[in-house]
A = this chain, B = another copy of it.
Amino acid sequence: MSIAIENFVKAIYKNDKHDTQDTKPGNIAKKLGISNAAATDMAKKLAAKDLLNYEKYQALKLTDKGTKMALNVVRKHRLWEAFLFKMFDMSLHDIHREAELLEHQTSDLLAEKISEYLGHPKFDPHGDPIPNADGEITTEDTSISLSDAIEGKTYTIARLMSDDKEFFDFCAQNQIKYRNTLTVSKQFIANKMTQISIGSNTIVLNEDFTKIIYVDEN
């Protein structure tokens, strides 16, 4: 299946999540930057391939097969975002753009290797769920902010909820990386500060930081 088809199916899936009426050809066309005519055209073709149900003038509905394809692409996109975010010092915007391309040229095997390397994360750095290889999605987010973490426990970094460059620079310097492991050595409750050990470092963070660092219990 082509890149155009994958993107089409993905657009329907994402729009549908947002609003069922949002999957009419015109909305998909706008999202993909193609003409309405092209979207109608493609919809008919994909209906013939059993990827979606097409009825004139109606919203497009993915079939199970189409949903599975969309989830597979979304999985690869979010795994790439997570992986590149962990590996390289790049802006989230740049990372998104790379993932948008790489998602279509990634075998299931490589996706699995990336997932394995990251410890099979259930959410990407934005907090969006990563479907598993069978297309299953974890809906409830069990991540907690570091400010709510429990003394003595070990966690994996699930999200860094910020766009601030200074914050990311600080994180990079202190091994605070998506998917890294840390242990909460002390919660200074009165002072709203948290002491963590990460790699060979021990760091005390104030509330400004602990509120935007989300972690999963190990």
Say whether A97 contacts B107, CB under 8 Å.
yes
User: With A94-B109, A107-B97 as given contacts, are A88 and B117 in contact (CB-CB < 8 Å)?
Assistant: yes
A190 at the interface (CB under 8 A from B): no
Q: Which residues of the other chain, B, contact A84 by a CB distance below 8 angstroms? A: 110
Determine whether A50 belongs to the interface, using a CB cutoff of 8 Å to chain B. no
- Inter-chain CA distance A101–B102, complex, in Å, is 9
* Residue A200 at the chain B interface, CB threshold 8 Å: no
- Cα of A114 to Cα of B107 in the assembled complex, Å: 20
* Chain B residues within 8 Å of A110, by CB: 84, 88, 90, 98
Determine which of B102, B109, B117 lies in contact with A102 in the assembled complex, contact meaning CB atoms within 8 Å.
Answer: B102
Q: Is the CB of A105 within 8 A of B104?
A: yes
Is A192 on the interface with B (CB-CB < 8 A)?
A: no
Q: Mark A179-208, 1 if CB is under 8 A from B, else 0.
A: 000000000000000000000000000000
Q: Which of B105, B107, B113 contacts A105 (CB 8 A)?
A: B105
**Closest CB of chain B to A203's CB: distance in Å?**
23
The interface residues of chain B lying within 8 Å CB-to-CB of A117 are 87-88
0/1 per residue, A100-122, Cβ < 8 Å to B?
01101111011001100100000
Report chain B residues within 8 Å CB of A98: 106-107, 110
Cα–Cα, bound, A125→B104 (Å) = 25
Residues of A within 8 A of B (CB): 84, 87-90, 94, 97-98, 101-102, 104-107, 109-110, 113-114, 117
18 contacts between A and B (CB under 8 A): A84-B110, A87-B113, A87-B117, A88-B114, A89-B113, A90-B109, A90-B110, A90-B113, A97-B107, A98-B106, A98-B107, A98-B110, A101-B105, A101-B106, A102-B105, A102-B106, A104-B105, A105-B105
